[in-house]
Amino acid sequence: MDAAPVLVWFRNDLRVSDQPALSAAAKTGQPIITLYLLDEVSRGTRVLGGAARWWLAGSLREHAKKMKSLGASLVLRRGEALKIIPAIVSETKTVRIHWTRRYGKAEEAIDRALAERLRAEGVEVHVYSSSLLHEPEDVETKAGGPFRIFTPYMRAAQAKGDSKFPLPAPKELRGVTGISSDKLEDWKLEPEKPDWAKDMLVAWTRGEDGAHARLRNFVDEELKGYAAGRNRPDQDHVSRLSPRLRFGELSPRQVCHAAYSVAGRKSGPSTRDVDKFISEIYWREFSYHLLHHYPDLGTKNLQSRFDRFPWRKDLGALKSWQRGETGYPLVDAGMRQLWRTGWIHNRVRMVVASFLVKHLLIDWREGERWFWDTLVDADLANNAASWQWVAGSGADAAPYFRIFNPVTQAENFDPEGKYVREFVPELANLRGGEIYKPWATPPATLSSAGVILGKNYPKPIVDHTKARERALKAFKETKD
């Protein structure tokens, strides 16, 4: 009699190396079925945004190839987890199922219910952890509660160690044939017409191999100078690993390991560069820690006094922000980079987010929603925690009087206007110094650069100084 199969259910862990759920399945020696389930119906879960669907398509395509090369095949199914998983388990006579823990209130509830039901039916359920360095509940204050300040969180987490060696990929898998699967193309995860993903295709290589190539390149070339260079959207000193971590093409352990491994290298990155980068990985950990302890992080102010904040409803301003037509070149460049490539440089993310919340006084949830739909790295924990941080309602948040000046930020971090020029081509003929404040540029200069304010580039939709005063006043009121 042929041995009964093990089912490996992939979710946000689309990789084969440092993949404990898969490695453990391979070790059993039993035949392996691998599965990805597109669940857009389970209650309480969020449907993927457009950009993330695009990423998922590429990541799955690569993952399926990888499965094939190892001797298995990736089965694709669609529907509600609580229905489909038990069905496929009984259809394939699976005796054992492996998955990697995922986070979020609804997701964890589904997984708990599933595990209970499957175990009751005599199926072994094995859950592995590899999407975070530390489980959210494992890091506690001395008093036994959650952290709400980043630095002590990181110290406590790091004290537990984070330099374990990543697992190698299994050499081969004993696959099972004949299990019916959806066709990836039928899921229509990628746009056809209009094909808004053309620029994204150029900007990104999806899938595990591409992720490793990016990681290698980052630690070998760009990590050196990261501590300061990470703030420069006109330079290449950021990792661009966020979508890879989002879909689990890489594990955070692999990322840290790669960064630590170049730390002592001659003429390599400084300790400061490496530490700074690792701390960014820890911000991701901290976001999951917060989401775990405050499951409504995506919808509810962490600081409840913000519940009475006088947010404005202004659909016109929101649309201008979304389209990158605020009249502030750095803000517009960021929003257009987002729309075109599915990603924004971190420094510019803060500037555009601050602009929405503080200059326009629009609720951070509107921004969160837009980012959710347009970012390839859209991730509930990071997105929610970061928006709340900018708004001031979150953990260890920016103080209310910290209002980014979009002109000063451009002067400091895109001094030649290289970044703005790339994403706001109608201003390309203006020089650094002019390009980030066209309204203050002499008309003759503008017209010789082909810029007609209000025609081919908007006038500012708000005046910085007035908007700043309005925001300070509004935030001040929230305190009383």
CA 7, CA 125: separation in Å to the nearest integer? 10
> Are the CB atoms for 37 and 360 separated by under 8 Å?
no
| Segment interacting with DNA, rule: CB under 7 A, options 6-14, 322-330, 441-449, 468-476 | 468-476
**Based on CB atoms, which residue is closest to DNA, 101 or 437?**
437
Is residue 389 annotated as a catalytic residue, yes or no?
no
Which pair of structure tokens corresponds to residue 132? Answer: 């975070």
Selected from 152, 191, 229, 432, the binder of DNA by CB under 7 A is: 152
Query: Judged by CB under 7 A, which of 3, 113, 149, 452 binds DNA?
Result: 149
Q: Is 117 in the site for DNA (CB under 7 A)?
A: no
48-56, 152-160, 163-171, 446-454 -> range binding DNA (CB under 7 A): 152-160
Q: What is d(CA 59, CA 248) in angstroms, rounded to the nearest whole number?
A: 9
Our separate counts of H helices and E strands in the chain read 20, 5
State the Cα–Cα distance between residues 391 and 41, nearest whole angstrom: 31
Instruction: Check 12, 217, 346, 405 and give the catalytic one.
Output: 346
Give me the least distance between CB of 141 and DNA, in Å please: 3
Give CA separation, 31 vs 63, 340, 355, 401, in Å.
18, 43, 54, 60
DSSP lists the bridge partners of residue 7 as 33, 97
Q: Confirm or reject binding of residue 228 to DNA (CB under 7 A).
A: no
Judged by CB under 7 A, the stretch of 59-67, 100-108, 232-240, 461-469 that binds DNA is: 461-469
- Scored b (16 or more CB within 10 A) or e, 221-250 reads ebbbbbbebbbbbbbebbbbbbbbbbbbbb
Segment interacting with DNA, rule: CB under 7 A, options 84-92, 108-116, 215-223, 345-353: 345-353
CB closer to DNA, 73 vs 337: 337
* 272 near DNA (CB under 7 A): no
Residue 304 contacts DNA per CB under 7 A: no
Pairing type for strands 124-128 and 74-78 reads unpaired
Residue 280 interacts with DNA (CB under 7 A): yes or no: yes
Q: Does 9 qualify as catalytic in the annotation?
A: no
The answer to whether residues 377 and 54 touch, using CB atoms and an 8 Å cutoff, is no
Q: Dihedral, CA atoms, 46, 51, 54, 58, nearest 10 degrees?
A: -100
Q: Judged by CB under 7 A, does residue 146 bind DNA? A: yes
346 among known catalytic residues? yes
DSSP state of 358: I
Catalytic residue from among 80, 283, 325, 405: 283
Which residue, 32 or 384, has its beta carbon nearer to DNA?
A: 384
Chosen residue from 69, 90, 141, 261 binding DNA by CB under 7 A: 141
In the sheet that holds 32-38, the strands lie side by side as 74-78, 32-38, 6-10, 96-100, 124-128
Decide: is 156 part of the binding site for DNA (CB under 7 A): yes
CA 53 to chain CA mean position, Å: 13
What is the size of the binding site for DNA (CB under 7 A)?
Answer: 41
Binding flag, residue 153, DNA (CB under 7 A): yes
Query: Closer CB to DNA, residue 224 or residue 464?
Result: 464
CA-derived radius of gyration, the chain: 24
H helix intervals, 170-207: 198-203
Q: Is 339 annotated as catalytic?
A: no
Catalytic annotation present for 311: yes
The residue from 12, 80, 196, 311 that is catalytic is 311
Q: Which one among 187, 196, 260, 283 touches DNA, defined by CB under 7 A?
A: 283
Say whether residue 442 binds DNA (CB under 7 A): no
- What is the per-residue burial (b if ≥16 Cβ within 10 Å, else e) of 13-40? bbbbbbbbbbbbbbebebbbbbbbbbbe
Chain residues 381-410 in contact with DNA, contact rule CB under 7 A: 386, 389, 396, 398-405, 408-409
- The answer to whether residue 364 is catalytic is yes
The residues assigned a catalytic role are: 280, 283, 311, 346, 364, 387
The contact set with DNA (CB under 7 A) reads 141-143, 145-153, 155-156, 231, 279-280, 283, 346-347, 350, 386, 389, 396, 398-405, 408-409, 412, 464-465, 468, 472, 476, 479
